[in-house]
């Protein structure tokens, strides 16, 4: 188990870019086989059907296109760990935009293929330090791509949940980046060192004010697997549900982090 995070995490830019493209490739492959009946099925995202969900998966990457079309902001304004907290404020606008995409792109397979081709061109043309204006604030392109792994992993999981029997794979590096970003966001939301949150094999963070441990087992420990952590952080499963299903273990007086979740919704 690696040591808990105490400093800002860095992400390998080449690995992140490859992870985004790989996870999107898994989605594209899954969508090619969907029937009109499957596209009309409900999802756990309110009134969205699978069709809206697929369109939104494309939108998660066209956000990169739109940001690169705008002038670069003068300076970075936020850390990437602030991004999860900005998502809920734009849910209404995202819903409207997504429904417009469905109307404009009846052939979702061709829509996703076009996004993949254009994104590869853009990533080859722009350096990772190029600043983008995002909903959270100004971020370098490389950091913004880390947020795309969260979008892709969360919504791939939504797609699998909506379609019984479908098991769209999770790229290992995309899942790792998403897990780490959301774990680090928890540490930002609840700074401290009384609770250690472990998500093996990808992340360990310390959080929550209280007694600090200096050696041995921390006073409070939470442990879960990467997909359960992503679901908790994104509000797809509640803390109580995860505990009841033995998907998470929690020990110590400050191990109940349910009040801190979800981090995004």
Q: What domains are there in the chain, each with its CATH number?
A: 13-175 (1.20.120.450), 189-260 (3.30.1050.40)
pLDDT band for 28, please (50, 70, 90 cuts): very high
Token reading at 192 = 């401290």
Q: Which residue has the higher pLDDT, 215 or 250?
A: 250
Model pTM greater than 0.85?
Answer: yes
Structure letter (DSSP) for residue 197: E
Of the pLDDT bands very low, low, confident and very high (cuts 50, 70, 90), residue 6 is low
The beta-carbon contacts of 68-72 under 8 Å, at least 24 apart in sequence, are 68/122, 68/126, 68/130, 68/132, 68/141, 70/132, 70/133, 72/130, 72/131, 72/132, 72/133
């Amino acid at each position: 188990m690696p040591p808990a995070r105490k400093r800002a995490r860095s992400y390998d830019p080449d690995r992140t870019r490859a992870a985004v493209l790989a996870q999107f490739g898994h989605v594209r492959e899954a969508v090619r086989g969907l029937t009109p009946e499957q596209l009309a099925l409900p999802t756990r995202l309110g009134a969205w059907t699978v069709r809206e969900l697929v369109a939104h998966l494309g939108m998660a990457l066209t956000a990169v296109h739109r940001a690169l079309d705008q002038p670069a902001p003068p300076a970075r304004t936020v850390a990437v760990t602030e991004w999860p907290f900005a998502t809920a404020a734009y849910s209404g606008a995202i819903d409207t935009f997504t429904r417009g995409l469905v109307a404009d792109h009846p052939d979702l397979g061709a829509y996703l293929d076009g996004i993949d081709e254009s994104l590869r061109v853009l990533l080859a043309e722009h350096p990772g330090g190029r600043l983008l204006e995002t909903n959270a604030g100004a971020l370098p392109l490389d950091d913004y791509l880390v947020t795309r792994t969260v979008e892709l992993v969360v919504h791939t999981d939504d797609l699998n949940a909506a379609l019984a029997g479908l098991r769209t794979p999770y790229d290992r590096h995309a899942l790792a980046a998403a897990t780490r970003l959301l774990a680090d966001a928890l540490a930002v939301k609840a700074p401290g060192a009384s609770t250690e949150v472990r998500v093996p094999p990808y992340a360990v963070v310390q959080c929550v004010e209280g007694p600090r441990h200096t050696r041995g087992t921390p006073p409070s420990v939470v442990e879960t697997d990467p997909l359960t952590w992503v679901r908790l952080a994104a509000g797809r499963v509640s803390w109580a549900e995860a505990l009841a299903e033995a998907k998470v273990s929690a020990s110590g007086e400050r191990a109940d982090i349910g009040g801190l979740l979800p981090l995004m919704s």
